[in-house]
Structure 1
Amino acid sequence: ADEKSVDFTVVEPPSQDQTAPETSVKVEGDKNSDGAFITSARATVSATDDDSGVEKVEYSLDGGPYLAYTAPVIVDRVGHHTIAHRATDKAGNTSEAKKVSFTIAQGGGVPAPNCAEFDERHTVFVGTIDTGVPNRITRNRCTINELIEDEKDWSSHALFLKHVTAVLDKLKTDGVIDQRERKAINQAAKKSGIGKPGQSEGYTKLFDGTAASLAKWEQVGGGKFELNEEEGSITSSTEVEGMGMLWLPNRAYGDYSLKLQWRDDAPGSGNANGGVFVRFPKVHDHPEESRPEWVAIKYGHEIQVNDRPDGDMYKTGSVYGFDRVGLGGAGVTPKGTWNDYEIKVVGQHYEIYRNGVLINEFDNTGGQLFEPPRGDDPGTDGRRFASGYIGLQVHGVTDVISYRDIRIKEL
């Protein structure tokens, strides 16, 4: 047969794709003069890969699990936030995570998520049990704690466990928690006893963010609180001067767990000075004090709210005048974030929790004197009531502070 030939060329084998994709993020929204986004921000993540192409893009909000990025992320909780983002290409290369941080400031116009409760503690609690699981924001913008609803009335323990199981199954499907975390929360729910006899009653709202709820409270002395109905909060006035108190006159409470959220909204770089008054007598027509707001100051206990690094020695969690908590023990958080505050009063024993952490205990035994000395102060001998009223301090026009979700459970 005739000889035949074929021509061909040998080239270098194609190099394997070993380069990870590049990611970037653009955060958009209206900003205030401090550079914080007003009410909400939209984060758009993009990724490019010139070799094998982008397979998937992921993001993590505030240290939570990485979720698949499919659309711009809307962040609308007031406070400081961090978004981490990364991408994986079709060759399996995953980029190093990049981060962007920004702050959301109080504003109006965007409705808050429709959560059954407000609970932004750092970890997931079921009743009084700390699971250690991060209290992440879920896909519907509520935190895990807010979905568990351990503060509502449950007619039986079985119904509560059924509810928790359904919540956990959904969270695991969504990638918010893993199996280990699911087990930890489920075990805590079983141990909590919520719904069993003696534990079926939840917390009663004292202020729920509506005008009708606020109307049950009375302002005495100076200052004023303004209603922010869109976010269900009240904020102390920047125009009405003087120190005063907003108190709930409808009834006195004995032993209880009082829970609320507060936020330091002081202007500029300052910090607010505020407080929660407990166990004081009726403020009108008091035989020894004509100023209503001073009845609470002199004959009740003020649980301090003050994260200022200098100035007053009594920081957040202090029983003002009697039991000092320093800044290092106050559990300080970034200014502008909501803090969970619990004041538990049983007999003459006080416990103060900030974001689920016990930061102070105080025994209201007789014979203790107010410090620094105040001539007409009766000390603890004048404050040892078995029951009393509840109030919120307004300190002045620059001590701007907000409160919301005030509720109580009698013990």
Structure 2
Amino acid sequence: MGKRTPNAGLVRLLRESGWTHGRFAMAVNRVGAETGLRLKYDESAVSHWLDGTMPRSQVRPLVLEALARKLGRPVTRREAGFPSTPALEAGSEDPLEGLMDLGRQDADPSRRGLLGAGLFSVALTVPGWPDVVGRLEAVQKGELSRIGMADVRTVTAMTDRISALDDQFGGRHARPMAAAFLINSVAPFLRADAPHEVRRAMLSAASDLCYLTGYMAVDEGLHGLAQRYYVKALELAGSAEDHLTYCTTLRGMSVQAVDLGHGVHALRLADAAAAASPQAGPRMRAFLAGQQAHAAAQTGSRRDALTYLQEAEVAMDKAESQSKPFGSYDPASLNYHAAQVRYLIGDVVGSVRAMQESDRVRFDVFRRARVRHRALLAERQLALGHLEAACTTWHTALDDYPLIQSGRADDRMREMLRLLRPYGKNRLVRELQERARPMVPSKVEEKS
């Protein structure tokens, strides 16, 4: 067997990172854990990689992501000395073929590994507005018959129905419906001939559906998959010259990042959404500023967080109607952002009060949010030492929990059982545990 050639690219990147071999291995293991992989790499594995042994194909994206997070910039396969995979390189595909392939792979669980379904990447290239405007012009005319505004209304109505199902029952069952609709109806519509205004409206409707599908993937913890849907939503919004959906998608990407603890990245995305929003009205401004406040608080910037939060509160007060949510943003959402900011700056009492107000004013249709946020409220009540109040709140979350299918709700309930373990002698706790255990699924982890 011939002698392997050392991987000079990976050597350079490791030197730039300042990591030891052991720290590098630990970082890759941590990224792997986010995808459900139990990796046990150590410094000897890193030494083998540097000497020219190629990491398994499943592990290479994890290596790139670990380096990107450390270096604060994208790291390409070529730069790391890994073989390229052109089919998955951003921008290398026909945009509509890429959309159909994404939907097909999502509909087939056996192929989700190709998407990096569980891996959230801070190094993802987010296309700017000038990069996506008009990108689909080259494939405007297709083989199908001409479409009209009735077809656009069909896509919009289907998206609204799927969104309502997601809010009430969670995305576990609704997302496959969305993926199938993208494959079988939306992509062919985008290839069909149409007048200019109809085409723009169809692109906008398709963008909104991609955003929703990405949001539902987040709900299941499929973060790499969600990011690819979000990028498709940005591309379609740009082609439609739809600033609203473009900004909404950037904000959704910020929500995903902040929930995963990537505050700096989340704030960058939230600021980009605010900057791209043309002449935002008060409700849209509240929608954007509330997310900026949450992300800023996670970065440790107390002053900026409180400034953005005040801006969101003032904008909400000016909104023409607080009875109708904008993109699910309403007084309950604003109070949730206030609760998150208060908690991150150390005001747990204020956070609990804001979450209680959020629960009081939340619309009944948002059942999934009600379960998750009540569970989070109970966690913070317990952090204050209010065990009885926390148990009461968790019981209210359990009232709705069997009606939804949501990975994030499952995570909150597993956290409840973990937090209650030290209190097993308490009668109220035992009653809550006995009620919850038959309902809460165990965490299924993929081993390697």
Interval of TM-score (by shorter of Structure 1 and Structure 2)? under 0.3
Whose radius of gyration is greater, 1 or 2? 1
* Structure with greater strand percent: 1
Higher RCO by CA contacts (8 Å cutoff, separation 6 or greater): 1
TM, length-normalised to structure 2 = 0.26
* Structure with greater helix percent: 2
